[in-house]
């Protein structure tokens, strides 16, 4: 068979693989690619391997020529969620269960496990189950696989977030193309040594602290996620996700706020990051002294926050909180929880290139604030209607009007608390219900309550270290409870074996607000916030007495809770309450005061 005929057949087979026409594959490119493949395998190579390397080379070529939209397809057959097929921008949470190199090639492959619920934020069908598939690894990740510094990194079912995935002609394979982006998930105990080598980080009191230089230089940056913002056309960089991180210098000192930009198809990765997470970057592109961008060679790592309560801990440090009607001239260090009305364009001053006006309101009135310097850059990203916490602002009088002003020089800060998913700060801008009025119909309400009792729900399946019966085992992939049958642990939702399990809190509490006493179940992540600990730390307590003491920590404390009421299906008209969000009452203030300041 002549070389020309062989190329013709390979062209037809490759067109089938990429679901395109033969004519879309340039003959000159095909001949060059095949020649290079044959020269790389002088000892001989099978036809399937040639085709696999051709398909890999085509995706690299087509992406570089911005033709990838014509040849890529999504993972519809593999991760099909209901009637919705996730697109290339879908964010997947997967685990690497095996790493292998194709024989007689330089191609690496990952064996990935996931479920139909893998695309984050999409509701899976009841019939979803754990699945596995292979992925051709893109060369951007080869240094991690082949270098000695990363030895052992991919062992033990390494978790990662991926976006930009596209399937091959077989539904059992993936391609990690040049457009594929990844964030690798670190674990506090398992990766302590690796974090020291990668970033010079040491684990001290369950916190990752910079204490030394990393073992190798890859332009590393390590910081704590402060804010995640999705940009729009109004930003200087449209279609970009901006993650603001606080970078703490080695040996302590004042942290520096930096912005990390995820552009184009990489923007979905920002959805995997939350306030309080540690974010590590290698080979990031430095746009300027305060801005980095996630590039084609950038490697990203995330160490998830060990305590969900961290989302509201920082806001609880600044009190007392005042209403706008209470603000008087010549007062300082004010803390206000307000809504954004409008943000002005930049108004440079002689001594400061960045200055913006911010108009805010609460139920007592409206005020204008002048924000200076680097803090004005953050204000530029705010939008009308967002709830923000303004910290350490000063007030002065200007032409008979009370004005607020703030800058980093006086320690001011602005937190967009609208981005806190599990903290009901918006309760400060809406009425509080009393317990005697909650539960008349299925609904969600806010209440200011005290916890008078905590009680475990006594799950049958739990970790053997749980002496207080306060946790339960759930399937790590989908978060639903597991049962035991003759074959072992089974996930009810996935209808399959639960090979990966984790412990979550299973608690109920008694609440009292002076009008009534109510019993409510507590969502697992909310229980971790109320107890100010994680299930992993709770299970490490060596005695039952210590575990019971941890369960008693919320007793007597005042919280603002978001209660969801469910009417039971029988005719008793009984109502089941569940706490879906919580924060300290001190973070919201006593909302009854607002009546004293209404016009």
State the first-to-last Cα distance of the chain, in angstroms, to the nearest integer: 91
504 and 555 housed in the same domain = yes
**Predicted confidence band of residue 319 (pLDDT cuts 50, 70, 90):** very low
- Asked if residues 504 and 486 have their Cβ atoms less than 8 Å apart, the reply is no
In this structure, the answer to whether residues 337 and 358 fall within a common structural domain is yes
Shared-domain flag, residues 563 and 450: yes
Highest mean pLDDT, choosing among 34-43, 186-195, 277-286: 277-286
Q: For position 175, what pLDDT does the model report? A: 54
Q: 101 — phi, psi (to 5°)?
A: -115, 130
Q: Which carries the bigger pLDDT value, residue 355 or residue 211?
A: 355
What pLDDT sits at residue 74? 36
Beta-strand (E) ranges in 285-379?
Answer: 285-288, 291-293, 299-303, 331-343, 355-362, 365-372
Indicate if the pLDDT at residue 123 is higher than 80. no
Asked, for residue 76, whether it belongs to a domain, the answer is no
User: What is the Cα–Cα distance from 280 to 277, expressed in whole angstroms?
Assistant: 10
Rounded mean pLDDT, 347-356: 86
Q: Which has more confidence, 434 or 139? A: 434
Q: Answer yes or no: do 273 and 287 share one domain.
A: yes
Spatial separation of the C-alpha atoms in residues 544 and 548, rounded to whole Å: 6
**Within a domain: 394:** yes
User: In sequence order, what are the residues at sequence separation of 6 or more whose Cβ sits closer than 8 angstroms to the Cβ of residue 206?
Assistant: 188, 306, 537
Mean pLDDT computed over every residue of the chain: 74
The pTM of this model reads 0.44
Nearest to 438 by CA among 557, 577, 584, 588: 577
Residue 466 to residue 475: CA distance in whole angstroms:
17
Query: How many residues are given for the chain?
Result: 599
Judgement on whether residues 429 and 349 belong to the same structural domain of the protein: no
**Residue 222 β-bridge partners:** 280
Q: Does the pLDDT at position 168 exceed 60?
A: no
What are the residue ranges of helices labelled H in 365-443? 374-379
* Poorest-pLDDT segment among 265-269, 283-287, 326-330: 265-269
CATH number at residue 291: 2.40.50.140
Least confident of 113-117, 231-235, 456-460: 231-235
The crossing angle, in degrees rounded to 10, of helices 3-17 and 27-40 is: 100
* The two three-digit tokens of residue 533, written as one number: 């600990």
* Element of type H or E holding 257: strand 256-263
Is pLDDT above 80 for 556?
A: yes
User: What residues make up the domain containing 518?
Assistant: 425-595
Instruction: Band the pLDDT of 165: cuts 50, 70, 90.
Output: low
Average pLDDT over residues 485-507: 82
- Confidence (pLDDT) at 93: 77
Residue for token pair 């602290």: 209
Q: Give 105's contacts (C-beta < 8 A, 6+ positions apart).
A: 41, 45, 49, 52, 53
In a domain, residue 117? The reply is yes
Q: What is the pLDDT of residue 231?
A: 54
Q: What pLDDT, on the 0 to 100 scale, is given for residue 148? A: 80
Tokens encoding 497: 């074996």
Across 99-113, 311-325, 529-543, 554-568, least confident range: 311-325
Q: What is the reported pLDDT for 287?
A: 87
The count of C-alpha atoms lying within 13 angstroms of the C-alpha of 549, restricted to the half-sphere facing its C-beta, is 6
Point out the domain boundary residue: 285, 306, 327.
306
Collapsing DSSP to helix, strand or coil, 143 comes out as helix
Q: Which of 168-172, 355-359, 393-397 has maximum average pLDDT?
A: 355-359
Number of other CB atoms surrounding residue 350 within 10 Å: 5
The verdict on 352 and 273 lying in the same domain is no
Residue where one domain finishes, among candidates 374, 397, 419? 419
- Do 585 and 438 share a structural domain? yes
547 located within any domain: yes
| 214, 193 Cβ separation under 8 angstroms | no
Q: Which residues pair with 490 in a beta bridge?
A: 483, 497
Question: How sure is the predictor about 439, in pLDDT bands with cuts at 50, 70 and 90?
Answer: low
Into how many domains does the chain fold?
5
pLDDT at 507: 93
443, 454 Cβ separation under 8 angstroms: no
Of 482 and 119, the structure prediction assigns the larger pLDDT to 482
Supply the pLDDT for residue 411.
Answer: 78
User: Could you please report the per-residue DSSP string of 187-237?
Assistant: -TTTTHHHHHHHH-EEEETTEEEE-S--SS-S--EEEEEEEEEE--TTSSS
Residues 26-45 have a mean pLDDT of: 67
Classify residue 590: in a domain, yes or no: yes
Q: Indicate the SS3 state at residue 166.
A: strand
Whether 80 maps to a domain, the answer reads no
> What is the rounded distance in angstroms from the CA atom of residue 221 to the CA atom of residue 218?
9
Maximum mean pLDDT: which of 109-113, 193-197, 540-544 = 540-544
Predicted local distance difference test score (pLDDT) of residue 131: 64
Give the 3-state secondary structure of residue 75. coil
Of 424, 436, 390, 429, give the one whose Cα is nearest residue 410.
390
Looking at per-residue confidence, does 469 or 588 come out higher? Answer: 469
Minimum mean pLDDT among 85-94, 158-167, 257-266, 538-547: which range? 85-94
pLDDT class of 467 with cuts at 50, 70, 90? very high
pLDDT at residue 1 greater than cutoff 50: no
Q: Is the pLDDT of residue 127 over 50?
A: no
Q: Please name the residues in contact with 110: beta carbons below 8 A apart, sequence gap of 6 or more.
A: 96, 98, 99, 134, 135, 137, 154, 176
Question: Do 497 and 526 fall within a single domain?
Answer: yes
Together in a domain, 344 and 299: no
Please provide residue 181's backbone torsions phi and psi, each rounded to the nearest 5 degrees.
-120, 150
Tell me, yes or no, whether 161 and 255 share the same domain.
no
Q: Is 85 among the domain residues?
A: no
Judge whether 461 lies within some domain.
yes
Mean pLDDT lowest among 371-375, 477-481, 482-486, 518-522: 477-481
C-alpha radius of gyration, the chain, whole number: 27
Would the pLDDT of 490 be above 70? yes
Rounded average pLDDT over 94-103: 81
Choose the final residue of a domain: 375, 399, 419.
Answer: 419
Q: With CA atoms as reference, report the closest residue to 236 among 289, 282, 287, 179.
A: 287
296/317 same-domain check: no
Give the single-character DSSP code of 482: E
Other CB atoms closer than 10 Å to residue 351's CB: what's the count? Answer: 7
**Which pLDDT score is estimated for 188?**
79
Instruction: Please check whether residues 410 and 434 belong to one and the same domain.
Output: no
Task: Tell me the DSSP string of 513-570.
Answer: -SS-EEEEEE-HHHHHHHHTS-HHHHHT--SHHHHHHHHTTTTT-EEEEEEEEEE-SS
Select from 543, 463, 541, 477 the least CA-distant residue to 506: 463
Span 284-296, average pLDDT: 87
What are the CB-based long-range contacts (under 8 Å, 24+) for 207-213?
A: 208/278, 208/303, 209/248, 210/248, 210/249, 210/250, 210/251, 211/250, 211/251, 212/250, 213/250
């Amino acid at each position: 068979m002549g070389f020309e005929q062989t190329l013709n057949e390979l062209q037809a087979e490759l067109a089938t693989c990429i679901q395109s026409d033969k004519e879309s594959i340039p003959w000159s490119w095909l001949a060059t690619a095949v020649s290079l493949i044959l020269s790389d395998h002088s000892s001989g190579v099978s036809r399937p391997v040639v085709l696999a390397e051709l398909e890999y080379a085509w995706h690299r070529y087509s992406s570089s020529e911005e033709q990838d939209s014509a040849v890529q397809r999504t993972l519809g057959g593999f991760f099909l969620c209901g009637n919705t097929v996730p697109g290339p921008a879908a964010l997947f949470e997967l685990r690497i269960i095996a790493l292998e190199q194709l024989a007689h090639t330089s191609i690496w492959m990952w064996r990935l496990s996931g479920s139909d619920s893998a695309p984050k934020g999409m509701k899976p069908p009841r019939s979803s189950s754990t699945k596995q598939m292979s992925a051709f690894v893109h060369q951007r990740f080869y240094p991690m696989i082949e270098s000695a510094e990363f030895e052992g990194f991919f062992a033990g079912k390494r978790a990662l977030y991926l976006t930009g995935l596209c399937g091959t002609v077989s539904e059992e394979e993936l391609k990690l193309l040049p457009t594929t982006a990844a964030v690798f998930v670190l674990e506090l105990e398992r990766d302590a040594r690796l974090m020291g080598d990668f970033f010079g980080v040491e684990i001290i009191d369950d916190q990752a602290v910079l204490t030394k230089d990393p073992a190798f230089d890859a332009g590393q940056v390590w910081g704590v996620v402060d804010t995640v913002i999705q940009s729009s056309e109004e930003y200087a960089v449209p279609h970009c996700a901006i993650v603001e991180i606080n970078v703490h210098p080695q040996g302590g000192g004042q942290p520096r706020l930096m912005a990390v930009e995820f552009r184009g198809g990489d923007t979905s990765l920002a959805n995997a990051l939350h306030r309080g997470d540690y974010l590590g970057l290698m080979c990031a592109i430095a746009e300027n002294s305060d801005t980095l961008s996630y590039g084609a060679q950038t490697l990203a790592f995330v160490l998830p926050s060990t305590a969900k309560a961290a989302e509201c801990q920082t806001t609880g440090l600044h009190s007392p909180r005042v209403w706008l009607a209470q603000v008087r001239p010549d007062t300082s260090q004010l803390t206000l929880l307000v809504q954004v009305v409008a943000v002005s364009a930049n108004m440079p001053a002689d001594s400061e290139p960045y200055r913006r006006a911010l108009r805010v309101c609460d139920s007592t009135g409206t005020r204008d604030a002048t924000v200076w310097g680097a803090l004005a850059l953050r204000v530029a990203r705010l939008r009308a209607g967002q709830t923000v916490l303004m910290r350490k602002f000063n007030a002065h009088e200007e032409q008979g009007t009370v004005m607020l002003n703030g800058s980093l020089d006086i320690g001011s800060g602005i937190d967009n608390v609208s981005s806190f998913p599990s903290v009901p700060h918006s309760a400060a801008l809406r009425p509080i219900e009393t317990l005697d009025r909650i539960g008349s119909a299925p609904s969600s309400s806010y209440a200011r309550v005290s916890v008078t009792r905590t009680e475990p729900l006594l799950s049958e399946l739990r970790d053997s270290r749980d002496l207080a019966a306060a946790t339960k085992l759930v399937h790590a992939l989908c978060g639903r409870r597991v049962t035991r049958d003759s074959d072992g642990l089974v996930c009810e939702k996935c209808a399959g074996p639960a090979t990966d399990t984790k412990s979550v809190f299973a608690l109920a509490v008694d609440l009292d607000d002076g009008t009534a006493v109510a019993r409510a179940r507590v969502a697992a992540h909310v229980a971790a916030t109320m107890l100010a600990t994680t299930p992993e730390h709770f299970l490490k307590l060596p005695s039952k007495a210590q575990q019971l003491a941890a369960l008693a920590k919320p007793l007597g404390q005042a919280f603002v809770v978001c209660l969801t009421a469910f009417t039971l299906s029988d005719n008793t008209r009984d109502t089941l309450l569940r706490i879906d969000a919580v924060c300290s009452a001190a973070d919201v203030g006593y909302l009854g005061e607002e009546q004293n300041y209404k016009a």
